[in-house]
Amino acid sequence: MEIREVFARNLKAARLAKGLSQEELAFRAEIDRTYISSLERSIYNASIDVVDRLAAILEVEASDLLKRSPDKK
């Protein structure tokens, strides 16, 4: 699995765990909702700054958003 797919899955899971919509996450991160959607669908690559900003809002470490599941390599 490509790192972009790993990030997409982890981002969506973290967002849902916090009970946030794409719109709310985008608002808090001061980015467009369509960008969040594109990240969750592995369309775009996120910059390291965006990864850090989203992690802070989701209250996780940036590295958690890039961590592969043990069974998905």
Looking at residue 56, its pLDDT comes to 97
Residues in the chain: 73
Structure tokens at 16: 């849902």
Whole-model pTM over 0.85 = yes
Please state the domain extents for the chain: 1-64
d(CA 14, CA 58): 7
Crossing angle (nearest 10°) for helices 48-58 and 3-17: 20
The CATH architecture that domain 1-64 belongs to is Orthogonal Bundle (1.10)
Q: What pLDDT tens digit does each residue of the chain (73 aa) get?
A: 899 999 999 999 999 999 999 999 999 999 999 999 999 999 999 999 999 999 999 999 999 999 998 775 5
Non-local CB neighbours of 20 within 8 Å, separated by 6+ positions: 28, 58
What Cα–Cα distance (Å) separates residue 43 from each residue in 7, 17, 35, 59?
Answer: 11, 22, 9, 24
